[in-house]
Chains A and B, each alone.
Chain A
Amino acid sequence: MTGTVALIVCGGVLFASGTAMLLARPLTRILLGAVLVGNGVNLLVLATSGPAGDAALLYPGTTRRAHMADPLPQAFILTAIVITLALTAFLVAMAYRSWQLSGSDDVPDDIEDIRIVRRAAYAEERERLRATYRARRHEYRALAHEEEEREAQEHSAFQRLGKARDQYRELRRRVRAEARAFRARQARAEETAEESEGEDDPWQTILGADR
């Protein structure tokens, strides 16, 4: 194949610039990129057909068959042009619909991807917060433990105090009961003494007037 360099260079430049535009976000730029890439690749395919020649049409009596251009790449290109046209129409419709719905024809990032990334960030944040929470809880538990111990000490002190008080009360109760009993006995003794005064007093009986 001995084609012209111009075709190849031109096709290459179109292909490269088209690819660069395909990387843009707005669908209209992508559309232009697709058109450029399509035309670039068509030129490249045309370059494969070798040197230029006569039209590849076989009229009756055609003699210069040797000088005929290669028809096959032209058939490829015609097909490819039709396909590119269909895709261009589709992209235009899609860009218009996108603009109609969202007011811009940018291709946004995938929502679900962002959600997964956020989920990872959320998990990290949760882990961090959990660590903080664990440390705090540990501190709090230590504090609570101290408090409990102190309370327990106080409680036992109270208990000891209570026991002493109970013992004291018990003692006092017993002492008072004894005192009551003593007083009762004394009172009874005095009573009997008064009652039997003069009649049945043993001392009187024994001692008589000597008392």
Chain B
Amino acid sequence: MSGGGGSAAEVAAVLVPLPVILPLCAAGLKLVIGARLERVQRFISAAVLLAVLVVSLVLLVTADRHGPQVMDAGGWPPPVGIVLVADRLSALMLVISSAVTLCVLVYSVGQGMADNDEATPLSVFHPSYLVLVAGVSDTFLAGDLFNLYVGFEIMLTASYVLLTIGGTLARIRAGATYAVVSLLSSVLFLTAVGVVYAATGTVTMAELPGRLDDLPHGVGAVIQVVLLGVFGIKAAVFPLAAWLPDSYPTAPAPVTAVFAGLLTKVGVYAMLRTQTLLFPGNRIADVLMVVALLSLLVGILGAVAQTDLKRLLSFTLVSHIGFMVFGIALATPQGVSGAIYYVAHHITVQTTLFLVAGLIERRSGTTDLQSLGGLTSLAPLLAVAFFVPAMNLAGIPPLSGFLGKLGLLRAGIADGGALAYVLVAGATLTSLLTLYALAKAWNLAFWRAPTPEMSVVGTVLDTAEGASPEEGDDGDGDENGAGADGTSGGPGRPSEEGARQPAGDAPDAGGAAAWGRAAGPGPAGGGGGPGRRGRRGKRRAVLPAVRRTTATFGGQEITTSTTLPVSMVGSTVALVVFGLAFTVLAGPMFGLTQRAAGELLARTPYVEAVMQR
């Protein structure tokens, strides 16, 4: 420790590797336990993520007070060994990511319980999710480029598993796109690491600034561009973003939420770190600004064209990455500070919106805006939970989205360049179009009258939850027997059968399987009950209109219900409140991001903390 942090700081330095190690240990433990001991397993996951959150908070406070916390892995000092560094930026990212991952975990536990689908989440989802958290933490804490690469790989390998969980055809297709693109970016990253090592003889980030500054201009620029390309793929910046909307929406809601919130921001974090620490002086600011502008506009125009809520949100994700790249491109203290604030805000809000999309899917069986409708009256809490983060994302004044955008726009105007002004205009236009896209989604899904699909899906699958399948089948058999008797017994019977109808019909609504059985003997029943068959026929005609979704962990069609699980709603609301906290605590938060930006741009605190001990 350079600054003489005292005993508190020394304790904190020991805590630095915990956000990586704890989830990895828990993942190993869970693989051993398998699909048994459900309660214990849920407790382990939640407790570990809670511990990571606490550790991250301690690290943030310590890093803010005593400077960057450094830990040598294996006791080898920096030029040879691997270092883990937690400065203000890393610790802030850790806090946000652990808070978000904890909420998403609680949500996913609720979803698994609601789907009666415990085996897949426990044996596959939880370990992969914990490995993902470890990878994300490792990326934030990595003190050298190669460790950053390893962190990316841990995260990516876990994300391949999470994206293809259940192994349905749609998810394999999405996973293939995602895996191939990510694989290419990883290979490019490894190449970049090789180039850096060949040019400087080190990959320790604290050692690199001095050595990169001595390099010829061209070599440095090549390294910078390759690294930016790699992180651009990860962060889904415009020309490299086409993979994202194709691959994210098919995954289960918690997976999509955490991917959208965290994985792209990991790319932004890496950009922020390398642009400030390794390549000061901002030599390719113009390129970054153009990329940011294109990202903003193309992304939001894509969002406007979508008819599916999840894809719409994916495109806004691509678009809003442009805001952060804009801040990085400015490379002024205000710009970097605005970018950091925006990253924190965007992680939370984007995750919340995807979780709400998952809840909408649970209520109505689809996220297709054309078949949604009337959710304000059907599920008022859901409407509030969607409205607040949506307005936050669009940047309506009192909310944190507005504050983040305002900070960036002010930084852009302070910069004063022509391109910066163009970007300010583009960013304003983008927020307006975001508002348009989200208001469109709001109008279609929440405000118009409920579509026929909404009520039909709700009622049909509600009864499916109430009656067990065996009972439904039995009732069905009796009913058909009575129908056959009625025809043979002559005109005296149909009235009696008519009286029995309601009793037999209720379990009939049990599900598609029951209809399939009833459809066969129905016509043979002759005049048994024309009214009954008519009603059945109508229901069957509605069924194919419902689009098949693959939203559960196992990849089956989701079971919709009017009562949403408490833990899912609770975690979503917690995230909404967490998003609002950025508004309430905007003052201290901006103070922190400004100190973090100052630390990043000064470079010496980081370098000294690692090298001079």
C-alpha gap A116/B370 in the complex (Å)? 13
Pair B191/A83 contact, Cβ less than 8 Å? no
Pair B176/A107 contact, Cβ less than 8 Å? yes
C-alpha gap A59/B197 in the complex (Å)? 26
Pair A101/B169 contact, Cβ less than 8 Å? yes
Pair A22/B153 contact, Cβ less than 8 Å? no
Q: Is A97 an interface residue (CB 8 A)?
A: yes
Chain B residues numbered 175-197 whose CB sits less than 8 Å from any CB in chain A: 175-177, 179-180, 183-184, 186-187, 190-191, 193-195, 197
One digit per residue, 1 when the CB lies within 8 angstroms of any chain A CB and 0 when it does not, for chain B 376-392 equals 00000000000000000
Q: Is B308 an interface residue (CB 8 A)?
A: yes
Pair A34/B183 contact, Cβ less than 8 Å? yes
C-alpha gap A27/B160 in the complex (Å)? 15
One digit per residue, 1 when the CB lies within 8 angstroms of any chain B CB and 0 when it does not, for chain A 105-130 equals 00110111101100100000000000
Pair B164/A45 contact, Cβ less than 8 Å? no
A1 with B307, Cβ < 8 A, contacts A90-B179, A108-B173 known = no
Pair A44/B191 contact, Cβ less than 8 Å? yes
Q: Is A17 an interface residue (CB 8 A)?
A: no
Chain A residues numbered 22-59 whose CB sits less than 8 Å from any CB in chain B: 22, 27, 30, 34, 37-38, 41, 44-45, 47-48
Pair B157/A90 contact, Cβ less than 8 Å? yes
Q: Is A158 an interface residue (CB 8 A)?
A: no
B contact patch SS = helix
A73 with B194, Cβ < 8 A, contacts A90-B160, A116-B306 known = yes
Pair A91/B153 contact, Cβ less than 8 Å? no
For A107, give the chain B residue with the smallest CB separation: B176
For B183, give the chain A residue with the smallest CB separation: A34
Nearest Cβ on chain A to B391's Cβ, whole angstroms? 26
Q: Is A153 an interface residue (CB 8 A)?
A: no
Q: Is B54 an interface residue (CB 8 A)?
A: no
Q: Is A16 an interface residue (CB 8 A)?
A: no
For A111, give the chain B residue with the smallest CB separation: B170
Pair A94/B169 contact, Cβ less than 8 Å? no
Q: Which residues of A contact B179 (CB under 8 A)?
A: 87, 90-91, 94
Nearest Cβ on chain A to B218's Cβ, whole angstroms? 17
Pair B308/A112 contact, Cβ less than 8 Å? yes
Nearest Cβ on chain A to B263's Cβ, whole angstroms? 17
Contact among B168, B197, B308 for A73, CB-based, below 8 A: B197
C-alpha gap A61/B193 in the complex (Å)? 33
Contact among A1, A22, A45 for B190, CB-based, below 8 A: A45
Q: Is B15 an interface residue (CB 8 A)?
A: no
For B311, give the chain A residue with the smallest CB separation: A112
Pair B177/A107 contact, Cβ less than 8 Å? yes
Q: Is A192 an interface residue (CB 8 A)?
A: no
Pair A112/B157 contact, Cβ less than 8 Å? no
For B160, give the chain A residue with the smallest CB separation: A90
C-alpha gap A107/B180 in the complex (Å)? 10
Q: Which residues of B contact A101 (CB under 8 A)?
A: 167-169, 172
Q: Which residues of A contact B203 (CB under 8 A)?
A: 72
One digit per residue, 1 when the CB lies within 8 angstroms of any chain A CB and 0 when it does not, for chain B 281-320 equals 0000000000000000000000001111001000000000
Q: Which residues of B contact A91 (CB under 8 A)?
A: 179
Q: Which residues of B contact A44 (CB under 8 A)?
A: 191, 194
Q: Is B422 an interface residue (CB 8 A)?
A: no
Pair A76/B157 contact, Cβ less than 8 Å? no
A94 with B183, Cβ < 8 A, contacts A44-B191, A73-B194, A102-B169 known = no
Pair A87/B190 contact, Cβ less than 8 Å? no
Q: Which residues of B contact A4 (CB under 8 A)?
A: none
Q: Is A193 an interface residue (CB 8 A)?
A: no
Pair B169/A41 contact, Cβ less than 8 Å? no
One digit per residue, 1 when the CB lies within 8 angstroms of any chain B CB and 0 when it does not, for chain A 68-89 equals 0000110010011001001100
C-alpha gap A46/B157 in the complex (Å)? 24
Nearest Cβ on chain B to A50's Cβ, whole angstroms? 9
Q: Which residues of A contact B249 (CB under 8 A)?
A: 112
The 7 A-B residue pairs with the shortest CB-CB distance, nearest first, are A48-B198, A45-B194, A110-B246, A107-B176, A101-B169, A98-B172, A83-B153
Query: Known pairs A41-B194, A112-B311. 20 more at Cβ < 8 A?
Result: A15-B187, A22-B183, A34-B183, A37-B184, A45-B190, A47-B198, A48-B194, A72-B203, A73-B194, A76-B194, A80-B190, A83-B150, A83-B157, A94-B172, A98-B172, A101-B169, A101-B172, A102-B169, A107-B177, A119-B307
Write the residues of chain B forming the contact surface with A, with a CB cutoff of 8 angstroms.
146, 150, 153, 157, 160-161, 164, 167-170, 172-173, 175-177, 179-180, 183-184, 186-187, 190-191, 193-195, 197-198, 203, 245-246, 249, 305-308, 311
Listed A/B pairs (15) with beta-carbon separation below 8 Å: A1-B198, A15-B187, A22-B180, A30-B180, A41-B190, A44-B191, A72-B203, A79-B150, A83-B153, A98-B172, A101-B167, A107-B176, A112-B245, A112-B311, A116-B306
